[in-house]
C-alpha cells in the first residue's frame, strides 16, 4: 500500500507544516521557526535547529526548481488522466505551479531552510496559493523519485549545453587551423623537439580530444534518459499511474524498469561527471601548451591582454593566468568525481539521505568545465601565434634526423641500421655545432656509402612534412581535408563559423 494510505498526515505538506509550526510556537513562543519539524504527527518534538540547518539542502537544490515544476506538471496532468484527481483540480495545480515558476524566475521566491529542499519549498508555495488542493500533487510519488527525476532532467540538459560549448571551441580551432596551414613548428615527445608538423595539425589534435569529450557527454545523456517518476519511495505505488505518459511528457525514452534501482541509482551522474573530468584533463593539457608556448623560452604564442594578468611587483610580467587556472580547476572537477564515487560506494538500496550530497559536485563540475571552455575559447581566438619563432625552433634539435633514416630505409637499408647510422651523424653534427644539412657528402658517405646528393633534399622541413601524406598525417592536403571535415562537423551541429569568426578575435 502507498505510504500516504498508511500515514494520512503525508497527504498535505502545507497542513502538517502549519500544524507543527503552530504546536512548536505554543510550546515555546520564543523559539525560532527553524527548530520546527516538517513531518507532523509522527514526531513529538521539533527538530533541533542545528540538525535542521545541517540537513537543509535548498541553498543547493533550488537550482532544480524548473525541473521540479516541469516534473510536477507532468505528474498532475497524468493524475487527472487516470482519475486520481479531477480535471479542475489538475488545472488549478498547474496554474499554481506556473505562478510559482514565474515567482522564481522573477527572483521573488522566499526560499526557506525550514522547508528543507526545493521540493517542499515549491509545494508549500503552491499550497499557500491554491489551498489544500495543492497537497494532492504529491499523490503517488515520493521525494525519492521526484529528486531522481529532477536530476536526470537537469543533467540531461546540462550535458547538451556543455556539448554546445565544446562545439564552439572546436569551431574556433577550425578557424585558427585554416589560417595556420602553412606554419610549421616542432612536434614534441618527452618535451623534446621530435619532428616538424603543421600548426594547423596540432590545433586539430586539440579538436579531436574535444570531440571525444563531447561524445562521452552525449552518450551519458542518452543513457540517463529514463524516467524514475512513479517509482515513489522505493516500491512503486497502489495508484494507477501511467508512467509511460509522464516519461513521454518529460522527453524520456522510457520509464525505468525497477523501482528500487530508479530511486537509488546515481550512475548517470558518475558518467556525466566522469566525462567532465576527462574533458577538464584535456582542457588542462591544452592550457599547459598555451602556458609553455607563451614563455620566452618557446615564444610560439603571445596571449591577449584580455586573458592575461600582470605582476604586483614586476612591471614587465604578462602571466597566462587564465590558462593556468584552467589547469588548476581540473583538480576540482576530478575531486567532484571522487566525491560522487565515495558517496555511492557503500550505499545499500534504495534511497539514503547521503544522496542529498550528489548535487553540489555535479553542479560544480558542470559550472567549472563550462567556464573553462568559455575562457579557453576566448583565449585561443585572441592568441597571436608567432610563425617566425616556430620556424626558428625547427633549426635546432635535429628534427630532420628521421628523414635521413627514412631516406636510407627507402634504399634498402634496414631501418634499425639506418637509425644507428644517422645517430652517429647527429653526434658528429652536435659535436661540431652544425646541423645535419651542414655536413658534407663525404661525411655522410663515411657512415654509409648509400648516401648521395639527393639525401640533402630530404632534410627540407616542408618536404619532410609533405612526405607524410597519409590519413591523419600533417601533409598539407590531409590537413586541409581535415579542416574541411571539422568545419562540416561543427556546422552540422549549429555552429555558424562565419558568425563565430566575426564574434571572436581570431585571425583565420
Residues 6+ apart with CB under 8 A from 29: none
DSSP codes, 402-450: HHHHHHHHTTT--HHHHHHHHHHHHHHHHHTT--GGGS-HHHHHHH-TT
Choosing from 284, 294, 311, 448, the catalytic residue is 311
- Is residue 311 part of the annotated active site? The answer reads yes
**Between the CA of residue 252 and those of 153, 227, 248, 331, 407, what are the distances in Å?**
9, 6, 6, 33, 59
Measured in Å, how far apart are the chain's first and last C-alpha atoms? Answer: 66
- 204, 173 in Cβ contact below 8 A? yes
| Distance in angstroms (rounded) separating the CA atoms of residues 269 and 359 | 9
3-state secondary structure of 226: strand
Residue 201 known to be catalytic = no
Using alpha carbons only, how large is the chain's radius of gyration in Å? 31
Assess whether the previous peptide bond of 350 is cis (omega < 30° from 0).
yes
- Pick the closest to residue 116 from 92, 94, 73, 146 (CA basis): 146
What's the rounded Cα separation, in Å, for the pair 418 and 414? Answer: 6
| Cell triple for 376 | 579557453
Residue 197 is classified by DSSP as E
Q: Which residues contact 244 (CB under 8 A, 6 or more apart)?
A: 254, 255
- Beta carbons of 134 and 96 less than 8 angstroms apart: yes
The catalytic position among 6, 124, 190, 419 is 190
Taking phi over 0 as left and psi of -120 to 50 as alpha, with beta for the rest, 191 belongs to left
| DSSP strands (E only) in 158-235 | 184-189, 192-198, 226-227
Measured CA to CA in angstroms, residue 457 lies from 64, 355, 403, 454, 487 at distances of 65, 66, 10, 5, 35
Cell triple for 156: 540531461
Q: Are 24 and 17 in contact (CB under 8 A)?
A: no
Per residue in 227-254, is it b (16+ CB within 10 Å) or e — as a string? bbbbbbbbebbebebbbebbbbbbebee
Distance (Å, whole) CA 445 – CA 426: 14
What's the number of CA atoms in the CB half-sphere (13 Å) around residue 41? 9
**Catalytically active residues, by annotation:** 190, 311
Amino acid at each position: 500500500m502507498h505510504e500516504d494510505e498508511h500515514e494520512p498526515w503525508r497527504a498535505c505538506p502545507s497542513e502538517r507544516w502549519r500544524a507543527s509550526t503552530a504546536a512548536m510556537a505554543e510550546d515555546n513562543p520564543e523559539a525560532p521557526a527553524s527548530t520546527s519539524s516538517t513531518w507532523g504527527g509522527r514526531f513529538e518534538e521539533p527538530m533541533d535547529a542545528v540538525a535542521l540547518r545541517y540537513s537543509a539542502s535548498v541553498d543547493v537544490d533550488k537550482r532544480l526548481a524548473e525541473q521540479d515544476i516541469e516534473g510536477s506538471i507532468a505528474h498532475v496532468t497524468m493524475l487527472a488522466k487516470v482519475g486520481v484527481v479531477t480535471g479542475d483540480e489538475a488545472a488549478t495545480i498547474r496554474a499554481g505551479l506556473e505562478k510559482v515558476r514565474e515567482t522564481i524566475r522573477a527572483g521573488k521566491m522566499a526560499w526557506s531552510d525550514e522547508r528543507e529542499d526545493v521540493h517542499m519549498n515549491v509545494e508549500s508555495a503552491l499550497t499557500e496559493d491554491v489551498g489544500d488542493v495543492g497537497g494532492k500533487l504529491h499523490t503517488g510519488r515520493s521525494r525519492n523519485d521526484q529528486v531522481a527525476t529532477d536530476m536526470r532532467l537537469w543533467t540531461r540538459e546540462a550535458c547538451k549545453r556543455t556539448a554546445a560549448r565544446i562545439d564552439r571551441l572546436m569551431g574556433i580551432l577550425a578557424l585558427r587551423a585554416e589560417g595556420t596551414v602553412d606554419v610549421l613548428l616542432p612536434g614534441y615527445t618527452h618535451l623534446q623537439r621530435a619532428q616538424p608538423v603543421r600548426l594547423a595539425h596540432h590545433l586539430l589534435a586539440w579538436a579531436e580530444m574535444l570531440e571525444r569529450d563531447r561524445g562521452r557527454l552525449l552518450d551519458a545523456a542518452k543513457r540517463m534518459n529514463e524516467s524514475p517518476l512513479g517509482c515513489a519511495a522505493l516500491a512503486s505505488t497502489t495508484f494507477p499511474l501511467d508512467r509511460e505518459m509522464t516519461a513521454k511528457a518529460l522527453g524520456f525514452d522510457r520509464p525505468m524498469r525497477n523501482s528500487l534501482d530508479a530511486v537509488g541509482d546515481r550512475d548517470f551522474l558518475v558518467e556525466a561527471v566522469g566525462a567532465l573530468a576527462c574533458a577538464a584533463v584535456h582542457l588542462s593539457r591544452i592550457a599547459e601548451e598555451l602556458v609553455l608556448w607563451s614563455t620566452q623560452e618557446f615564444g610560439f604564442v603571445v596571449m591577449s591582454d584580455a586573458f592575461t594578468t600582470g605582476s604586483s611587483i614586476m612591471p614587465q610580467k604578462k602571466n597566462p593566468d587564465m590558462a593556468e587556472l584552467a589547469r588548476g580547476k581540473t583538480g576540482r572537477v576530478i575531486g567532484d568525481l571522487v566525491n560522487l564515487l565515495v558517496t555511492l560506494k557503500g550505499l545499500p538500496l534504495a534511497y539514503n539521505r547521503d544522496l542529498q550530497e550528489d548535487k553540489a559536485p555535479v553542479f560544480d563540475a558542470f559550472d567549472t568545465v563550462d567556464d573553462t571552455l568559455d575562457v579557453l575559447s576566448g583565449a585561443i581566438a585572441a592568441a597571436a601565434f608567432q610563425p617566425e619563432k616556430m620556424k626558428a625552433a625547427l633549426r635546432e634539435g635535429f628534427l630532420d634526423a628521421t628523414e635521413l633514416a627514412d631516406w636510407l630505409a627507402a634504399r634498402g637499408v634496414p631501418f634499425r641500421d639506418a637509425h644507428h647510422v644517422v645517430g652517429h651523424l647527429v653526434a658528429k653534427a652536435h659535436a661540431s655545432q652544425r646541423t645535419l644539412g651542414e655536413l658534407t657528402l663525404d661525411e655522410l658517405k663515411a657512415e654509409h656509402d648509400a648516401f648521395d646528393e639527393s639525401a640533402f633534399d630530404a632534410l627540407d622541413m616542408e618536404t619532410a612534412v609533405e612526405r607524410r601524406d597519409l590519413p591523419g598525417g600533417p601533409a598539407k592536403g590531409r590537413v586541409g581535408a581535415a579542416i574541411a571535415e571539422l568545419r562540416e562537423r561543427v556546422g552540422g551541429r549549429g555552429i555558424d563559423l562565419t558568425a563565430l569568426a566575426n564574434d571572436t578575435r581570431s585571425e583565420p
